[in-house]
Structure 1
C-alpha cells in the first residue's frame, strides 16, 4: 500500500477542485456568513461496532437512556390548528396525544388509559375529551380526569391522581417537539444554532403540502445516515451528477446535536471528467425535473431556461428561481443568494430530525425505530411557504407505505421517489451485511462522514452514561 499523505490523518483533506466555500465566493449575491464559516472538528478515525445497528441490547439502551431525554419532533403546528385537534405521536415504545388547547397552547400526554392500559386513540383527529373505547374512562383534552362508569367500584382511585402523565412540549418555527423526561437544556438551547440560521427561511410561515411515511427493512440509524452525506451520489444516484456537487459538498458540525451537509446544485459533479457547458447543466437539471411527470411541459418549468451568455448555470437558475419564489410567496427575494434558492442545505438535529434550509419548498425528514432493530419508518414532508397575507392551511394528511410498497407508489413525491428507491436498493443489504460482518466494524470517512461520527459520538454519551453526565 502506498504511503498515505500525513494530512489525511487529521481530517484536513478535501476534494480536489473547487470546494463549497470556493463556490460560495462566486455566488451572485452575498451568502450568509453561517453558510461559509468553517465548523469542523476531527473526531478520530477509529471504526465503530456494527452491533450498534443490529443489536437488540443497543436498541434497549436507546429506549431507556436516550429517547426519554431528547427533544423529539412530534408534529407541525398546522397538523393541529384548532382547539381539540390532536396528533398521535409514537416512538420507541411510547405513545402520546399532542393536543391543541383552548388558549392556543399545546400539551402532550401519554396515550394510555389508566384503567386497563388501552390506547385512547390510534389516529389523529379532534376531540373535546378522550374516552377509552374499552370501558369508558374519560379525560379532558388537557389531560385532566373527566369521568368513569361505575365509579362506586373504584374508591381507591382519587380523581386528583388520575390525570394523564404529561411530556414536556417545546415549539419552534412551526415545529412541535416533546421530551418525555422534563429537565435538561431548553429546546432553543438544544437546537442551537439552528434557530439563528433559519431566521431567514421562515419555516413558521410554511405549511405541510406533502407527507409520506414508509416502513424500511433496515435500522433507523442505517437509513438516516444514508441521508447525512452526499458522496454516495457517485454510484447510487448517477443521474444527478450532471447538476449536483457530491464530494465538493460542505460539512459542518455544531456541538453535540446539530450538523449540516451543504450540497451544491446547478454545478457538475467533480466526477464528470468532461461536461458540455453551462447550458447542458441546466438542460440536464430540467430534463430530470420532468422525468416523473407524464405531462411535462418545459414551458411551465422554471428550470427549463436558456443560460445568458457570460452567466453560469447556477447564476441563471438562481435568477429564475428568485423570480418564481417572489411571485409564489409575495415576499421579495432580491437578496436571496443562489445557494439559498438551489442547494441542498440539509440540517440534522440529534437524534432523528432533518429539516432542509433555503427558500425553496423544504424537505423535512424524520426516522422512527421499528419494533426490532431491523426495521424503521422514514417520513418525508414537504413544506411550502404560505403566500404573504394568507392564512396557514391545515397540513396535508400522511400517506403510509408498507414494507412491500415502493416510494414510487406515492406519485406526489415526484423525482424524489426515484431517488429514494435507489437508496432502498442499498439499505436492506447494508442491514444484512452488518449482521453478517466478519470484522464487526464500520469505518467512516474523516470529512464527508463527520456528521455520522458526530451522531455516533453523541449517541455514545447517552447509552453509556447517566443523564447527568451530558452537557
Structure 2
C-alpha cells in the first residue's frame, strides 16, 4: 500500500492507495514482464509557453523541422495488401503515396509530379492502380517510382526516366503499420521505436485488424489534443469516474512513454485526495467495483465477493471475447483484458496493447491551420493465428461539430470521447487570453507531456523556457 508522500525530491510524490504494481502483482493471471517495468524520471517543472499551441511562426517551424523529419504511421499493411494498392497520407502541407510495388516491397513517394508539381493523387486514403499518372499532362510512373510515360517526349531531351522519377521517401514497417519519414538522412525506424518492439512481442499488433476507424476534426492545436489523452488526472472531473488516480507513468526514452491505469481497483484515499466529498470515503465493495466494470450478473457478484472484481470481470471478458473474435484468450492476463495501457510514440502516435481497450490514436495538423487538428481513432481487434486480414473499413469522418455518438460501432466509448474532446476548444481559447503565459504541469502525472515538448525542441532547436 502506497501512502501519500511529501515531495522531498521533485517528482517523488505519489497518490495514496495501492499502486499499479500492487494491483498487477495480485492479479489472477499475471501480466507479461513489460507491464511490471517502471521507468519514471523527473524532467523539470518550468511552464510550457502557451505560444507553442497558438503561434503561427512556431507552427510553421514544426511544419518545416518536425513533420518532414519524424517517423509517423501512414497506414496499416492491410490497406495495401496487393501489388498496385496505394494509400495517400497527408500531414500538413506534405502528401505521401505509399504503394505496394511489383517486387511486393512497400515503397513511399512524395505525391508530387516531377513535371509541373501537381499532386498525382488528390484524395487521402486507399486506392488501386498499376501505375501512377499525373492528371494534368499525363506523365506516368511505375510502382517503383520510375518514369515510364512522357507525352511529347520529343520536346524534353533534357529529361530522362532516371532524372525525373518520383521522389522516394523512407518507408518501414512495424506492428502491421507502415511508417514514413520524408527526411533522407533519417535514422532507421528501429532506432526510433526504442523499447516498443521488445514490449510488443508480448502483444503483437500485426495480429490485429482494424475493426473501426473514426477520423474527426478537433478545435485545437494537435499537441493540446493529444495531451488530453496522455494522463488520467482528468478522469474524476471530466468523466466523473472513480479511476485513474493511481495511474503509473513511465518514460522509456525521448521517443517512447507509457501510462497504465487499472480498471476495477479503486482507492478511496486517492479519490478523497482528488475530489473531496464527491466520492464516498468507505471503499467500494467488490460487487460495486464489478458493476463499475460493466458486470451486473448476480452469480458474478457472488464470485467477486469471494475473489476480486478484477479476476471475475477478466474471466467473463476472456470467455465472451474469445467466442466473439474466435481467438484463444485463456492465457491473457487480467491487466491486458481490463486496463487502459497506453504507449506513446513521438510525435503523435498512441498504441494500446489491451483487449477490451484496443485503440490506436494519431493526432496531426489539419492542413496548415494552427488551431485545429485531425484525430484518427482506430480499434484494433485480435485475429486468430494464421487468419487473413479482412479489408479495412472506410474511416467514418466527423466534422468539428459532430458527436462521436454519430460514429456507429463506438458503442459505450462514444460519450467518453465526447467528454475527452469537449474541453479542447475552451482550452485553445484560453491559451490566447491567459495572462499567465504558460501551462503548469504536474511533476508525475503530466511528465509524459513535458517529455514530448523536450523532444520537440530537439527537432526545432528551440529549448523550452519558462513562460
Of the three residues 183, 186, 196, the one matched with 2:185 is 183
SS in 1 for 2:157: coil
- Cα distance per residue 1:130-155 (max 9 Å; x no partner): 11122211111221112122222222
Q: Which residue of 2 aligns with 1:393?
A: 390
SS in 2 for 1:384: strand
Residue 247 of structure 1: CA displacement?
A: 1.4
- Is 1:7 aligned with 2:7? yes
Q: Which residue of 2 aligns with 1:229?
A: 231
Q: Which residue of 2 aligns with 1:220?
A: 222
SS in 1 for 2:87: strand
Q: Which moved more, 1:39-48 or 1:20-29?
A: 20-29
Residue 305 of structure 1: CA displacement?
A: 4.2
- Cα distance per residue 1:190-214 (max 9 Å; x no partner): 1120111111212111111100100
Residue 397 of structure 1: CA displacement?
A: 1.3
Q: Name the CA distance, whole Å, in 1 between partners of 2:265 and 2:94.
A: 44
Q: Name the CA distance, whole Å, in 2 between partners of 1:8 and 1:216.
A: 39
- Is 1:363 aligned with 2:359? yes
8 Å contact from structure 1 (residues 247, 448) kept in 2: no
8 Å contact from structure 2 (residues 54, 370) kept in 1: yes
Q: Which residue of 2 aligns with 1:293?
A: none
1:184 to 1:382, Cα distance in 2 relative to 1, 3 A: same
- Is 1:416 aligned with 2:416? no
1:406 to 1:329, Cα distance in 2 relative to 1, 3 A: closer
SS in 1 for 2:229: coil
Residue 278 of structure 1: CA displacement?
A: 1.4
Give the structure-2-normalised TM-score.
0.91
Q: Name the CA distance, whole Å, in 1 between partners of 2:19 and 2:118.
A: 55
1:437 to 1:465, Cα distance in 2 relative to 1, 3 A: closer
- Is 1:456 aligned with 2:458? no
Q: RMSD between aligned alpha carbons?
A: 2.2
1:184-263, aligned counterparts within 5 Å?
A: 184-238=186-240, 240-241=241-242, 245-263=243-261
Q: Name the CA distance, whole Å, in 2 between partners of 1:8 and 1:66.
A: 37
Residue 274 of structure 1: CA displacement?
A: 3.5
- Is 1:310 aligned with 2:314? no
Residue 425 of structure 1: CA displacement?
A: 2.0
Q: Gaps spanning 5+ residues in structure 2: where?
A: 272-278
SS in 2 for 1:382: strand
Q: Which moved more, 1:354-363 or 1:93-102?
A: 354-363
- Is 1:285 aligned with 2:293? yes
- Is 1:344 aligned with 2:335? no
- Cα distance per residue 1:39-74 (max 9 Å; x no partner): 011111111111111111111111111222211111
SS in 1 for 2:409: helix
SS in 2 for 1:7: coil
- Cα distance per residue 1:80-117 (max 9 Å; x no partner): 11111111101031101100123321000011112222
Q: Name the CA distance, whole Å, in 1 between partners of 2:89 and 2:455.
A: 24
Residue 304 of structure 1: CA displacement?
A: 9.9
8 Å contact from structure 2 (residues 99, 108) kept in 1: yes
Q: Name the CA distance, whole Å, in 2 between partners of 1:329 and 1:420.
A: 24
8 Å contact from structure 1 (residues 80, 394) kept in 2: no
Give the structure-1-normalised TM-score.
0.90
Q: Which residue of 2 aligns with 1:295?
A: none
Q: Name the CA distance, whole Å, in 2 between partners of 1:63 and 1:411.
A: 34
Residue 275 of structure 1: CA displacement?
A: 5.0
- Cα distance per residue 1:335-356 (max 9 Å; x no partner): 3221111101111000001010
Aligned pairs, number: 446
Q: Which residue of 1 aligns with 2:274?
A: none
Of the three residues 427, 431, 434, the one matched with 2:428 is 431
Of the three residues 311, 316, 322, the one matched with 1:320 is 316
